[in-house]
Chain A
Amino acid sequence: MTLFQVAIYGKGGIGKSTISSNISYILSSEGSRVLHIGCDPKHDSTRLLLGGKIQQPILSYMQTVPEKERSLEDIVQKGSGGVLCAEAGGPEPGLGCAGRGVLSAFTELHNLGVDEMPIDIRIFDVLGDVVCGGFAVPLREGYADAVIIVTSGEFMSLYAANNIMKGLLNFDTGKPRLLGMILNSRGLPNEDERVRRFAEATGCNIISTIPRDNLFAEAESRCRTLSELYPESEIAKSLRQVSMVLKEASVSGEIMTYPHPLTEEQLEDLASNRTIKKVSEPFQSEACVKPFRETGMLRTCAARSAFITVSTVKDAAVIIHGPSSCGYIFESGRIHYCVREATHSDPQNNVFVTGMTDITSIFGGQEMLRKAIREASERGCRCIFIVTTCVPAIIGDDINTIIKEFGQINPELIIIPVDAQGNITGDDGIGQIIATASIAKLIDENIKPEPNVVNIVCGNMYDIPSARNSKTIERLLDIFDLELNCKLSIKSTVSQVNQFGRADLVFLTSFFPGAEKKIDILEKTLGRHLNVLTLPIGFIQYKRWLRDVGEITDHKDRAEAEIKNVETEYNDYIAGHRLDGKTVIFTSVTGNDMDWAIDLLQDMGMRILRVGYGSQAGKTDFELRTSYPEISVKGYTAQDIIRDINEFHPDLLVGDLGKNADLGCRFIRLFRKGYAMDDVYFFAEKVWNLFRLPAAGNEGWRDGGS
């Protein structure tokens, strides 16, 4: 006999387990080889088949037994009538993800070789309603060949039956699978009639009606199925009718139907005993029609950039609460941006990953988080950031309660949650803002500002904190005798962040969409306005910056002296590097400041055709900070670039993504790496040299392809 699989669904408490275990018993006693699988976290489906014995659930078995030591015999037990029994199990109420648990339990059964067992019929007894994708697993292709719904005449039971029918359509396998309903009567007035009307309206058969009878209770009290104890009872006969239908279905699928779930209005008609109206548009799977919302290319996730940002607080620990793979990817990013590029950097080893597994995503990861906090604390970390990833967010781990627990045990320990996990479509900019808000919790708002003290705040984590940049910044501060207080989100200690309030003057490393929000967070934390200047790049910005700082510090003379030095050199360079009449298009997906390069190329005589800024994580409502608003556009897509290249034939394309190098136009990648005049001549020289070469696309290496 070919394996036939049946899923028995129904509202919680309707009697699914009782009925399904009876069906399993009857089928087995009639000679079928039956595997009965309970899919409810409370794991009591097989109780009556096992004489009241509690069976070890598959999921708790997976929690405790190493993979290589597992065996099918440990989780599949023989019950009365020879029925083979298994229970999926699941987490305690309110924890983890029970739906995922069903999927994992099925996978484990498969891995342990359940498919090789000589079984004719598998019965899945499934938790109440189809509340999420996990509980719909038995409806998936490869599982249930037939579905039976147990219901009573109560409205909520029929409502659940209706939802199960919707789930069945969402998981359509291309052939009808609804075998019918079993009416497990509650003895309500007009119960049969109401269920009959529902069945008629949904196009579903009523396989059997089970009358209300104390025999069930008696059998349960003896931990046996009714069919085993009272095989000649009327109820047992009704249940045998189900087994007959089921066997017939296993031979011929013709008796199965596609259901037509009712709309809410139709359900209302049913509840009010009105005629159930016909509808012109029957239920359709909503999952099929949800359109794709174009979010654009995300460079990273918010949690990753939040992690990188908070890990700049050197003596704090960071716990990544999530899978090890997220930890690895986050750490790769940190190394790439904050270690490899910064030759003098001092990477800390205060990073912990809870390493959530499939099992912890089912049972909840709170205990793993507690363990990680204890470990960080035992290593002497007095400040801990907790960066949560998608997995604990989806399963609803309660981070704040854990933080409170540790706060009661050790009031000195500072634990700060970094709530980036909910921003699934958030990009690195959003993660940085979230992290800034977390770091700002370390700031002492009572500290008063002092003159000639300055904070540096990271505008964008991609601003490279290299040794060269540090030297340049030191030189800039020296011009005006400024004392550096705290380098927020670059490299600082907990106590430096705590003292952030010593300075009202802030140098932002770059202006980046989101940088304003960071400043806003800091101002709100301190309860006062900050005097913010962006560190300059390029001659025009540098000149302006020098004058602004000269004004603030009352050192205008020093500013003018520096301008004079730089101006002569700059003008001489420009005079020898003219590109008059050449045209250029600028494009950025990062939203980085491009004005300095625009200024430079204009000074060299080039004509700017367009400055295009891509969308920021699907949003175009960010504020553009540019001196060239008249030629700037937001939401500039890859298609727009190609269109403009074809239309304007620019001599040069400047962009911050290397992929644009292949668009058939002379291309230079724009990085902001330095400050003041550091990269100005380097960039200008690169552009100048590009025009000394033939147009892009003719390089000899291109002939090497097959």
Chain B
Amino acid sequence: MAAEGIKDARAILHGPGGCRLFFMHCSVSAFPRMGSSGTAEYNIPFFFGQSRIPSSYLDEQDYINGAYGKITEVLPVVSSKGAELFVIVNSPGAALIGDNHPKAIRSCGLENKAMFVDESLISIPFTAGYDHMLTSIMAYLHPPKKLKIPKTVNLIGLSIMDKDWMSAKSGLTELLEAMGLQVTSCPGAGCTIQELHDSVSAELNVVVCPEMCSKLVQFYKNNYGIPFCKGPMGAPIGFAPIKKWLTTVAEMTNADPQPALEIVRSHEGRVFNKFIGFPNESSRLRGMTMSVAAPASVARALTEWLYDYIGFIPITVLADPGSDPSESELLRIFLSDHGLTDSWNKELSAQAEVTFCDHNTAEILSVKRSSGITLDIGAGSNSQTGILPRPIYGPMGALHILDEIICNLRRSESN
């Protein structure tokens, strides 16, 4: 999915056809980019009418004899559909047979446009896999060092599997631009290969979700001397964490945060006007219980913000596998300091009035329980078909979260 997060790159799945469907669906729904010609031009082998993530369609014999030949057939067909970079990713089974991808790439004359990932990434967290792939892509592209351009940053640690990542990206970019900063690249979230080449000239890497980019930021730092900063309150989710995030970026870039903070305050004002005009609304929210399961930086921002902002009581807080250890520890300390230690690292509770979790869990909870509000916030969400902005990150994300809670509250209470 990280390769698919690059606008002019293509992931090629080296594996059985059955492994393709889920990722193909995710890619198409998360990052639609079909041209006006529609799907008809993809009615060819390896695509079979679907534009994204062609597969080598391995069969039983390939697992026994190797599937080098398949890759040499796939590459010319796929490359005929154009891209600046082709990334071959092994399915878990294909990772065991050790096909000679470098030779296949060379025999197809794609040395400068095709790469592969040989490691078996099975059962590692989504965030770590995303991070690993983007780091591998940057290592493959190996852009030459460039002079740093002042007041330019990369927005890093956002994935196309984050809920409404496009709105999140535009919202966060708007804030940074308000501070006089230009976003050079957003690696893995709709950037181009050229933008990745340009990204090495940025002054700073501004981290959205640390779990999604811990290796990548180190890569930039070690190879290009680009420092990074992350939000002191976790990911930029909710007004307070966003403001802290902006202030930190401003300090690192010597920029004026006020214009960006003003944008956040205007969104806060919208909530204020709503709550002050209808005190019944805010009073109903205060004291509600919440559960969250997410990467620690996301869980921390949500927990701390909602606790302070409207008085939510976290009853279960679960940091996903692959969470940033420092974020996990800070979250644990916050809970401990507020007498909420019992909630730490517990499985999601069906008792919570509001639950923030991944898409699958949200679906199950929504069926299993008659009351309670469930918000699908996690990576892996495939409910990307809405049109209205529904991000999690940024000021619009804060409004979206509050809106979902308020609008579903009455329905939930009536059940």
Point out residues on A near B: beta carbons under 8 Å.
Answer: 97, 99-100, 103-104, 107, 132-134, 136-137, 140-142, 170-174, 285-304, 322-326, 328-329, 331-333, 335, 339-340, 342-343, 345-347, 355-358, 361, 389-391, 393-395, 422, 424-427, 637-639, 642, 657, 659, 662-663, 702, 705
Contacts and interface: CB of A to CB of B under 8 A. Distances in A.
A296 B48 contact: yes
Given A335-B363, A424-B16, A295 B43 contact: no
Given A170-B68, A295-B17, A358-B120, A328 B98 contact: no
B197 to A, nearest CB: 23
B329 interface: no
B119 A358 contact: yes
A289 B66 CA distance: 12
B92 A172 contact: no
A391 B90 CA distance: 12
Interface in B65-98: 65-70, 72-73, 91-93, 95-98
A328 B125 CA distance: 11
B269 interface: no
Interface string B94-121: 0111111011001000000000001111
B360 interface: yes
B70 A356 contact: no
Given A132-B97, A133-B97, A141-B102, A287 B65 contact: yes
B278 interface: no
Nearest 4 pairs of A and B residues by beta carbon: A133-B98, A301-B18, A662-B38, A390-B93
A249 B20 CA distance: 45
Given A343-B367, A345-B367, A358-B122, A638 B96 contact: no
Interface of B: 16-22, 36, 38-40, 43, 45, 48-50, 57-63, 65-70, 72-73, 91-93, 95-100, 102-103, 106, 118-124, 359-360, 363-364, 367-368, 380, 382
Contact of B124 (A103, A302, A346, A357): A357
Contacts of B58: 424
A360 to B, nearest CB: 8
Given A100-B96, A107-B119, A343-B367, 19 more contacts: A104-B120, A133-B100, A134-B96, A171-B103, A289-B69, A292-B69, A293-B59, A297-B49, A298-B16, A324-B123, A332-B382, A333-B22, A358-B120, A358-B123, A424-B16, A424-B60, A424-B93, A639-B43, A663-B38
Contacts of B368: 346-347
Nearest to B93: A390
Given A140-B102, A171-B103, A297 B16 contact: no
A637 B96 CA distance: 33
Contacts, number: 198
Given A170-B100, A173-B102, A323 B122 contact: yes
A98 to B, nearest CB: 11
B21 A299 contact: yes
A681 to B, nearest CB: 27
Given A134-B98, A659-B49, A286 B65 contact: yes
Given A323-B92, A326-B92, A328-B360, A298 B21 contact: yes
Contacts of B73: 291-292
28 contacts: A99-B96, A103-B98, A133-B99, A285-B68, A287-B67, A289-B69, A290-B61, A290-B65, A294-B45, A298-B16, A298-B18, A323-B122, A326-B92, A335-B364, A340-B367, A342-B367, A347-B368, A358-B95, A361-B92, A390-B16, A424-B16, A424-B18, A424-B60, A425-B16, A425-B60, A638-B43, A659-B50, A662-B40
| Most chain B beta-carbon contacts within 10 A, residue among A293, A394, A424, A637 | A424
B43 A642 contact: yes
A438 to B, nearest CB: 18
A287 B98 CA distance: 12
B334 to A, nearest CB: 23
Nearest to B43: A638
B360 A300 contact: no
Nearest to A353: B123
A290 B70 contact: yes
A637 B63 CA distance: 27
Nearest to B368: A347
A251 B22 CA distance: 50
A293 B69 CA distance: 11
A199 B59 CA distance: 37
A361 B96 contact: yes
A641 to B, nearest CB: 8
B16 A133 contact: no
Nearest to B61: A290
Contacts of A389: 92-93
Contacts of A340: 363, 367
Given A140-B100, A357-B123, A174 B49 contact: no
B367 A322 contact: no
A390 to B, nearest CB: 3
Given A300-B21, A424-B58, A424-B63, A663 B40 contact: yes
B43 A290 contact: no
A324 B320 CA distance: 13
Contacts of A662: 38-40
Contacts of B360: 328, 331-332, 335
Q: Which of B49, B73, B368 counts the most A-chain CB atoms under 10 A from its CB? A: B49
A171 B100 contact: yes
A97 B92 CA distance: 13
A99 B98 contact: yes
A222 B66 CA distance: 43
Contacts of B21: 298-300
Contacts of A427: 18
A110 to B, nearest CB: 9
Contacts of A395: 96
B16 A132 contact: no
Contacts of A97: 96
Nearest to B77: A292
Contacts of A289: 69
A323 B120 CA distance: 11
Nearest to B98: A133
B65 A137 contact: no
A307 to B, nearest CB: 12
A357 B360 CA distance: 22
> Which of B68, B69, B95: most chain A Cβ within 10 A?
B95
A645 to B, nearest CB: 10
Of the candidates B18, B57, B123, the one having the most CB atoms from chain A within 10 angstroms of its own CB is B18
